């Protein structure tokens, strides 16, 4: 326990960009989310497990000194363990530590999974380095050096705008007739309306013209690795395991459904690092931080305290909080995820819902109504004299087929049936009786497809 606590104290968990972007989410209608929420008592045929396809990219600083996971059996085993633990966090949920007024029933399995499809290693110091220092140009920078005291090693700028820049940097770039040189700051202060920068070096022979500073630029949330190393692939969630050049602290950022980043895992790692990864994955699948509650079934206040113990008043045990527990998701959070991956083609295509699996075939008997959108990984069979009425959009796996038996009806009300996977599905077959290898067309009283309102079939192969 002491080791885990120490690790947590080293973690700088997340970027403020995420804090502001997710805090602006409007709270969604709970009744709508309830339709998509896989409560424990709901069947797995109605609410099948959503499996997101993952590729992990290990960015190594150099072949001699990777400063990351090694490209060997042990390294791959560790990475697989991270994904396995993420699956554990999302499938073994507990009760909330902070109970809201109208407590909804706890969901113990979110039915969200992550499948590790590949581990790829890249020796690339630029891709590894997520924190860079760059010379600041643009606007008023660089500032003119208005005066110099060579005896006291001080540069004078007759404005206070220069103070903020030089105050945040240890070094500055000074131009002179022989070209730019780098000096190291000893101190910076204000005097009236003047900014005074004292440097460590002897400047008796320096004739400065202007000066600027080095600014740290954080690439943890950048899309550069995703673009450079995957060609902006949007058929997987790409997890980049990178490094950071400024400090050996663990860090994460997840601004997209297609990519996320976890820096310096090998220095912070372990169980705490696995929880950090699960938290960042939560951002990729649509969840915000809990200090600004995204949904009404979350506490109004959730104190962020990295690695701290959870309690019943101020620090929740939510995966999307900053805490040492991270073993709970609310029904609205889970319903929101399930809805996104049941209605948005750009998210559906990174799941296994696009992979046709006959074992996942859905058979509809008697009268049934579907009042939400959903994905179908297998085939869909409407049995003889049965009726399936659909209000919503249906996304079929590539190569999947809808079979309508004799005297059966499929009614689509202002919705669409498509693949959502960038390919085609097999379309509709009218048959006497569904037998996968022996499909016979009925001679009379065949089944019926009814398209009401604006309903349509798209991406049909035949």
Q: Which fold has domain 2-130+220-343?
A: Collagenase (Catalytic Domain) (3.40.390)
pLDDT of residue 19: 38
> Which residue in this structure is represented by tokens 């060579």?
150
- On the question of pLDDT at 269 being above 80, the answer is no
Question: CB–CB of 66/267 below 8 Å?
Answer: no
Please compute the mean of the pLDDT values over residues 200-212 and round it to a whole number: 95
pLDDT tens for each residue of 90-114: 999 999 999 987 777 999 999 999 9
Which residues, in sequence order, are bridge partners of residue 413? 452
Q: What is the mean pLDDT of the chain?
A: 90
Fold match, 2-130+220-343 / 132-218: no
pLDDT of residue 367: 96
Nearest to 284 by CA among 331, 351, 210, 363: 351
Provide CATH code, domain 132-218: 2.40.30
The encoded tokens of residue 42 equal 């709901």
pLDDT of residue 4: 37
pLDDT tens for each residue of 305-340: 888 999 999 999 999 999 999 999 999 999 999 999
pLDDT of residue 307: 83
**Phi, psi (rounded to 5 degrees) for 293:** -60, 125
- Break the chain into its structural domains and give their ranges: 2-130+220-343, 132-218, 357-457
- On the question of pLDDT at 38 being above 90, the answer is yes
Q: Which of 191-200, 210-219, 295-304 has the highest mean pLDDT?
A: 191-200
pLDDT tens for each residue of 335-359: 999 999 999 999 999 999 999 999 9
Cα(133)–Cα(138) distance, rounded to whole angstroms? 16
Nearest to 351 by CA among 420, 267, 446, 293: 420
pLDDT tens for each residue of 225-259: 999 999 999 999 999 999 986 677 788 999 999 99
**C-alpha pair distances (Å), 376 with each of 118, 328, 421:** 25, 28, 12
């Amino acid at each position: 326990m002491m080791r885990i606590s120490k690790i947590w104290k080293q973690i700088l968990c997340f970027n403020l960009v995420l804090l502001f972007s997710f805090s602006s989410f409007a709270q969604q209608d709970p009744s709508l989310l309830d339709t998509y929420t896989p409560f424990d008592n709901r069947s797995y045929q109605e609410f099948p497990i959503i499996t997101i396809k993952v590729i992990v990219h290990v960015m190594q600083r150099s072949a001699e000194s990777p400063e990351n996971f090694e490209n060997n059996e042990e390294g791959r085993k560790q990475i697989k363990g991270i994904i396995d633990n993420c699956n554990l966090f999302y499938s073994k949920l507990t009760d909330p530590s902070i109970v809201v007024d109208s407590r909804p029933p706890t969901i113990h399995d979110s039915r969200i999974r992550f499948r590790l499809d590949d581990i790829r290693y890249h020796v690339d110091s630029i891709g590894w380095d997520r924190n860079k220092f760059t010379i600041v140009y643009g606007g008023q920078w660089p500032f003119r050096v208005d005066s110099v005291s060579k005896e006291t090693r001080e540069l004078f700028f007759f404005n206070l705008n220069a103070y903020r820049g030089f105050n945040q940097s240890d070094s500055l770039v000074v131009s002179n007739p022989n070209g730019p040189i780098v000096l190291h700051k000893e101190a910076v202060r204000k005097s009236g309306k003047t900014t005074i920068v004292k440097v460590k070096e002897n400047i008796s022979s320096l004739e400065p013209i202007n000066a600027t500073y080095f600014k740290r630029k954080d690439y943890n949330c950048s899309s550069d690795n995703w673009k450079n190393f995957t060609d902006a692939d949007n058929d997987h969630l790409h997890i980049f395991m990178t490094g950071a050049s400024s400090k050996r602290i663990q860090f994460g950022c997840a601004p997209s459904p297609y990519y996320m980043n976890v820096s310096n895992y090998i220095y912070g790692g372990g169980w705490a690092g696995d929880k950090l990864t699960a938290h960042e994955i939560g951002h990729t699948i649509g969840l915000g931080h809990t200090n600004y509650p995204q949904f009404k079934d979350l506490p109004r206040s959730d104190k962020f305290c990295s690695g701290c113990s959870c309690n019943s008043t101020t620090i929740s045990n939510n995966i999307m909080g900053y805490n040492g527990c991270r073993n709970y998701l609310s029904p609205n959070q889970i319903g929101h995820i399930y809805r996104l991956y049941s209605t948005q083609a750009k998210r559906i295509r990174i799941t296994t819902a696009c992979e046709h699996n006959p074992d996942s075939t859905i058979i509809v008997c008697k009268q049934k109504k579907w009042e939400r959108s959903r994905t179908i990984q297998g085939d869909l069979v409407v049995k003889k004299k049965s009726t399936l009425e659909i209000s919503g959009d249906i996304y079929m796996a590539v190569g999947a087929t809808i079979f309508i038996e004799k005297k059966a009806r499929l009614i689509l009300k202002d919705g669409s049936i498509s693949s959502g996977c960038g390919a085609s599905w097999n379309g509709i077959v009218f048959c006497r009786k569904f037998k996968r290898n022996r499909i016979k067309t009925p001679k009379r009283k065949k089944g019926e497809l009814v398209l009401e309102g604006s309903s349509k079939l798209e991406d049909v192969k035949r």
